[in-house]
Amino acid sequence: MTTTPTTVPEKPDVLSAEFARDPHTYYKIMRDFYPVLHHEVSGYYFVSRYEDVARIYKDSVGFSNENYAFQMEPVIGKTVIQMGGREHAINRQLITPALRGNYLEELLPQVDELATEMIDKFRTAGRVDLAEDFTKWFPINVIVKMLDLPREDLPKFHEWYSSLMAFLANLTNDPEIHAWGMRTQQEYPAYILPIIAERRRNPGTDLISRLTQAEINDEQFSDEQIKALIGLLLIAGGETTDKSIASTLKYLIMHPEQLEAVRQDPSLATRALVETLRYHPPVQIILRTTTDDVEVAGTVIPVGSVVGCVNGAANRDERRFDDPDTYNIFRTDINIRQAFAGSADHIAFALGRHFCVGSLLAKREAETAINQILAAMPDIRFADGIEPTDAGLFTRGPESLIVEFTPAS
């Protein structure tokens, strides 16, 4: 067991260059000495221990998702993740059939085909940046397929979701990032609303058409609501799945014995993904807002405060996980069967009622990507032996993932 040093280190600055290079060093300082860290520049309160973060996600009294009203709504509109009560329940019921169940089963063969098609382009290259040439685009390709939109518009979608992620994480109110978000506010609706209106008039089998026809208790989505939902899908289904896949491949390459185990038994790709979601979740921080004065870890957080739930810190809390700083796809303190449900042991998709409704789609995309990459690259390794570096505060993953391999003859 490690002992806590008696000297209290300086309070970490989440916006510092040092924090950006190695957040996990500072996450431990936060857990041990500043479990509720008030960041003066942003005014946010960052919570880092597993027990506290889990409580915030599950506690409907004292915390809300009102922060998305300024984080995302100005760009894409009001989405289900900022709703509460009956409004949230109805919207989630309308969305769920589109991302789980029969529709997901129908989509899965197309997910496999898309992965194969993309990998075929560099299968014989011997060297490739998997982040730039695969993981960055694969989830968007799936979303575009679901929406039945032109593939030549992929760069637009990537630009829009990149601006949304930057807008969401703009702690310093950078005017250029704000302006970028406002451009998306104009361009994205101008593109998608006419398509939604046409699918409502002439529905097909695509996701947009299904959403225009979805109905519960005589309630349907409006065109504006569908626009916002698709915007959310771009973020939740694009950026996060991209980083989940890239990080899993990175950590498997760093642990050759575990990589070989997955290669020999493709079903272990699920375990590898789940361990990545714990060890290095793609969404490092999710925000909530206090609806009352709330005490967390001995600190009273005032009503109306924005709280940063630091998933990346909570998932390596030694109070909850054994040997948390070790990447181990065979660990026994996570229940794999519930890893993609609201009762998950890891904290990567939030928990409780607001657990990510698209988690099963993300799971299947990642399993397909991991297994197809490993099959295509039997001796995959980091190019020039250089381990890729990560970047990002709210979402985090490899900036690039340049690998070398011997092409199959």
- pLDDT above 70 covers what percent of the chain? 89
Q: For the ranges 83-92, 185-194, 296-305, 311-320, which has the lowest average pLDDT? A: 83-92
CA distance 232 to 242: 15
When pLDDT is cut at 50, 70 and 90, the band that residue 234 belongs to is confident
**Residue 353 located in a structural domain:** yes
Structure token pair of residue 257: 């014995």
Identity of residue 335: N
Query: Confidence band (pLDDT; 50, 70, 90) for 348?
Result: confident
For residue 220, which phi and psi values (nearest 5 degrees)?
A: -130, 165
The sheet that has 381-382: what strands, in order across it? 127-129, 402-404, 381-382
- Tens of pLDDT along 178-225? 898 889 889 989 999 999 999 999 999 888 998 888 877 777 888 988
- pLDDT greater at residue 404 or residue 151: 404
167, 173 contact by CB (below 8 A)? no
Distance, in Å, from the CA atom of 97 to the CA atom of 365, rounded to the nearest integer, reads: 18
Inter-CA distances, 332 with 161, 181, 276, 286, 374, Å: 36, 43, 14, 26, 25
DSSP-based three-state secondary structure for 390: strand
Six token digits for residue 13: 């600055």
Better-predicted residue by pLDDT, 339 or 325:
325
Task: Inform me whether the pLDDT recorded for 312 exceeds 70.
Answer: yes
- Residue 287 has which token pair? 């925000």
Residue 237 reports pLDDT greater than 90: no
Which percentage of the chain shows pLDDT scores above 90?
53
Indicate if the pLDDT at residue 101 is higher than 70.
no
- Report d(CA 246, CA 304) in Å as an integer: 36
Q: What pLDDT, on the 0 to 100 scale, is given for residue 1? A: 47
Task: Identify whether 199 is part of a domain.
Answer: yes
Q: Report the domain count for the chain.
A: 1
Consecutive H or E run containing 114 = helix 101-120
| Angle at 371 (CA atoms; ends 362, 341), nearest 5 degrees | 30
Beta-bridge partner residues of 127: 404
Q: Indicate whether 173 belongs to any domain.
A: yes
Name the band, by pLDDT with cuts 50, 70 and 90, for residue 97.
low
Q: Is the residue at 4 inside a domain?
A: no
Pairing of strands 306-310, 285-290: antiparallel
CA–CA separation, 44 vs 12, rounded Å? 13
| pLDDT confidence bin for 121, thresholds 50/70/90 | very high
Q: Is the dihedral of CA 307, 172, 400, 155 positive or negative?
A: positive
What pTM was computed for the model? Answer: 0.90
CATH number for 354: 1.10.630.10
Distance between CA atoms of residues 108 and 99, nearest Å? 11
Q: What is the mean pLDDT of residues 2-12?
A: 75
CA distance 283 to 348: 6
- Residues 112-117, mean pLDDT to the nearest whole number: 95
Give the distance between the most distant pair of CA atoms in the chain.
68
SS3 324: coil
The one-letter amino acid at 37: L
Per the model's pLDDT, the better-predicted residue between 312 and 358 turns out to be 312
Check residue 267 and give its pLDDT: 96
The mean predicted confidence, pLDDT, of the chain is 87
**Residue 289 contacts by C-beta under 8 Å, 6 or more apart in sequence?**
63, 64, 65, 66, 67, 304, 305, 306, 307
User: And the tokens for 4?
Assistant: 């806590």
Residue 155 structure tokens: 């760069």
Considering only CA atoms, which of 19, 73, 101 is closest in space to residue 285?
Answer: 19
| Structure-token match 């922060």, residue found | 67
In a domain, 248, yes or no: yes
E-state strands within 60-193: 63-64, 127-129
Helix (H) / strand (E) element for 299: namely strand 299-301
Contacts of 92 (CB under 8 A, 6+ apart): 80, 353, 357
Domain encompassing residue 351: 17-404
HSE-up of residue 375 (Cα within 13 Å, Cβ side):
13
